[in-house]
Structure 1
Amino acid sequence: MPVIAVLALDGVPGHQLTAPGVAFGSAARHHPHVGYEVRYCAGPGFRTTGGPAPFRLDTRWGLEGLEDADTVLVPGHDGFRADPPPGVAEALRAAAARGSRIGAIGTGTFTLAATGLLDGRRAATGRRYAAELAGRHPRITVDPEGSVTEAAPFHSAAGVLGGVDLCLRLITLDHGDPVAVETERQVFLELHERGEPAGPTRAAHQPGPAGSRLGPTLRWLEAHLDSPLTLNDLADHAGLTVRGLTRRFRTETGLPPLQYLLRARIQLAQRLLERGDEPVERIAARTGLGTPANLRHHFQHHTGTSPRTYRTAFRSLVSTLTWADGRPGDPAQSAPTDSPAVDRPDLPG
């Protein structure tokens, strides 16, 4: 099982520290073939997370926890402008030499940059710190937008939502877009349930285990959701009888074939509602649900809300959770602090 070591240095924003557990844990919970061990490692001098609601970290791991990690994540922390605490730079260089992936979140990029590992590469940090990172480390090409930046084996991103985008990028590299997209939805809905009024729920379907006989058929099904698929179509593709297909679907997905197909269509409708502005008529056609009335009926049944309400609620949630990215006019722009701008009391964490 891949090990994700999260390095906790003193004053790390709580939401940056917990986000990897939320993202990688969600990927594993909702996809039987996905597994991660998230290991929290207290760095030298670690006492507590940053404000506004600091908490202590009880872990048996220190820097030695990085030694066999497949991925090391370095969140932001207080005093990021100073030299890394004793042993941290050496531990990061050793991890890179072993072939580990290393990801930096927010001002954690300053710590990774101090090792020299990012020289000659692209990197990102929070927008309000981009110019400073470029000034301190002129050999690094800094992404001014704070987007997830990959310079393999190094990855970096702004600290918004605790680096969730960076974690999702790593999940994409490990398991592909479908797992990452579903994980993103799960993470946002978990945050919604924790910090917002009750809202729309997801319609999930579970893919078969890696290497299952149904794998090719499930991928084919996903690519042809707009077609009028029948049980016989699915059975023919899988090389099974209808009875055999039904038995295998129940075993590997927990659902009969047509129920799985319907949930896959609802899930596609959710993605289209989240990512674009297509009208319901177009979404109904693209998902194979036919008419807007049919889409609304099944969407309401599986998610508890209408397509229009779902789109509005999801976008409102995303806007609420990402406003602290230091955009012009945001309160974060004027906050004079040595901690990342996203360390706000109204962000999850």
Structure 2
Amino acid sequence: MTRVAVIVFDHISPFHLSVPCIVFGSPPAGCTVRVCADQPGMLATSAGFRIAIDDDLSALDDADLIVIPSWRDAGEVPSPMLLDGLRRAHARGARLVGLCLGAFVLAHAGLLDGRPATTHWGRANEFATAFPRVRLQPGVLYVDDGSIVTSAGTAAGIDCCLHLLRSLVGAEKANRVARFLVVPPYRQGGQAQYIEWPLPASRADDRLGATLEWALARLDRPLRLDDLAAHAAMSRRTFTRKFRALTGSTVGAWLLHQRLGQAQRLLEQSDMPIEQVAEAAGFGSAISLRQHFAATLGVSPSAYRRTFRG
């Protein structure tokens, strides 16, 4: 029977805590789950209620699997007691899991140096800056590097825990747990399909802002750099410079992202056939749309529609 220790902390998100507890604590999993903290007792949650924790970090000493469900602040260094406990557990062969911002805790312990890892896409840049020795993979739902596993944000923790459960008890029991949770036993793709491509917030240059709005209304048509520059009454060079300053992107990359966003919205909100979605979003053909979806989002348009429309 696998012994699982889940680390809790003051102001934890109840959802993050519940994910490993319900996945590994369900009867088909066949695991024993202990919830522990470096300071047991009554702990606050981010939802406004408190929870009672009885076990301290001695629960890590004999655990086979240790899960850090998240972390309260990406910029906060965990206590030396917690970091030392994780290092000792790793040294004796326990498998460590950092869900969402839990990857920051493992990185603070020095256990991710030179290894691949992921975290929530919204904190990926912060993570990369703080831990340059980690081989960050921000576009995936989880990274299994053997003794250490990390996942992306929130619901990706479910994917990660189900993946771990499959390795522990087999696909049949893991699928039973997934059915109980009413979630797919395996999700295709990565974090990219859940990241919205925002419109530029700044409109410091009225002509450039008007041109971007003009382009967004014509995504179904061919749009060249010369067309956009002419609409803004600028030279190619001036337009390119101001465009990059405003969006942080090239014209081609920005148009692709906006067209992908348009295709995503149409797939989520309409019953249009894939071919019509491709034309309306400016991809020209379903083949082109599928190629860009696979390259950027890691899924097909049909799979994306199934995911977001059930």
Superposition TM-score tier, normalisation by shorter sequence: 0.5 to 0.7
Match runs of 1:204-215 below 5 Å: none
**1:79 Cα offset (Å):** 2.7
- Where does structure 1 lack aligned partners over 5 or more consecutive residues? 190-269, 277-321, 331-349
Paired letter, 1:37: T
- The answer (yes or no) to whether the contact 2:121–2:153 under 8 Å persists in 1 is no
Number of the residue aligned with 1:280: none
Number of the residue aligned with 1:265: none
Q: Separation in 2 of the partners of 1:169 and 1:136?
A: 28
Q: Separation in 1 of the partners of 2:175 and 2:131?
A: 34
Deviations 1:196-227 (A, max 9, x none): xxxxxxxxxxxxxxxxxxxxxxxxxxxxxxxx
TM-score normalized by the length of structure 1: 0.51
**1:148 Cα offset (Å):** 1.1
Structure 2 counterpart of 1:81, from 75, 81, 94: 75
Paired letter, 1:98: R
Number of the residue aligned with 2:17: 17
Q: Separation in 1 of the partners of 2:155 and 2:59?
A: 24
| % same residue | 31
Number of the residue aligned with 1:266: none
Q: SS in structure 2 opposite 1:57?
A: strand
Q: Separation in 2 of the partners of 1:80 and 1:9?
A: 13
Relative distance call for 1:44 and 1:21 in structure 2 (3 A) is: same
**1:56 Cα offset (Å):** 2.1
- The answer (yes or no) to whether the contact 2:43–2:52 under 8 Å persists in 1 is no
Paired letter, 1:6: V
Relative distance call for 1:173 and 1:146 in structure 2 (3 A) is: same
**1:161 Cα offset (Å):** 2.5
Paired letter, 2:180: Q
* Structure 2 residue 39 is matched with structure 1 residue 44: yes
Deviates more, 1:112-121 or 1:161-170: 161-170
Match runs of 1:48-63 below 5 Å: 48-51=43-46, 53-63=47-57
Structure 2 counterpart of 1:159, from 129, 153, 165: 153
- The answer (yes or no) to whether the contact 2:42–2:53 under 8 Å persists in 1 is no
Paired letter, 1:78: R
Number of the residue aligned with 2:2: 2
Q: Separation in 1 of the partners of 2:101 and 2:110?
A: 15
TM-score normalized by the length of structure 2: 0.57
Number of the residue aligned with 2:113: 119
- Where does structure 2 lack aligned partners over 5 or more consecutive residues? 199-310
TM superposition outliers: structure 1 runs of 4+ over 6 Å:
none
Number of the residue aligned with 1:103: 97
- The answer (yes or no) to whether the contact 1:83–1:111 under 8 Å persists in 2 is yes
Relative distance call for 1:46 and 1:93 in structure 2 (3 A) is: farther
Q: Separation in 2 of the partners of 1:159 and 1:275?
A: 14
Deviations 1:48-84 (A, max 9, x none): 3443x23322232011111110100012122331211
* Structure 2 residue 168 is matched with structure 1 residue 174: yes
Q: Separation in 2 of the partners of 1:49 and 1:19?
A: 18
Deviates more, 1:135-144 or 1:42-51: 42-51
**1:6 Cα offset (Å):** 0.4
- The answer (yes or no) to whether the contact 1:9–1:46 under 8 Å persists in 2 is no
Match runs of 1:156-235 below 5 Å: 156-161=150-155, 163-188=157-182
Deviations 1:254-295 (A, max 9, x none): xxxxxxxxxxxxxxxx98xx989xxxxxxxxxxxxxxxxxxx
Number of the residue aligned with 2:260: none
Deviations 1:71-119 (A, max 9, x none): 0001212233121123011000000011000000111110110111110
**1:18 Cα offset (Å):** 1.2
Q: Separation in 1 of the partners of 2:91 and 2:66?
A: 12
> Aligned-pair RMSD on alpha carbons?
2.9
Paired letter, 1:121: R
Paired letter, 1:18: S
Q: Separation in 2 of the partners of 1:162 and 1:149?
A: 11
- The answer (yes or no) to whether the contact 1:127–1:326 under 8 Å persists in 2 is no
Q: SS in structure 2 opposite 1:38?
A: strand
Number of the residue aligned with 2:65: 71
Ranked by relative contact order (alpha carbons within 8 Å, sequence separation 6 or more), the top structure is 1
- The answer (yes or no) to whether the contact 1:42–1:59 under 8 Å persists in 2 is yes
Q: Separation in 2 of the partners of 1:275 and 1:152?
A: 20
**1:45 Cα offset (Å):** 8.0
Number of the residue aligned with 1:291: none
Relative distance call for 1:138 and 1:57 in structure 2 (3 A) is: same
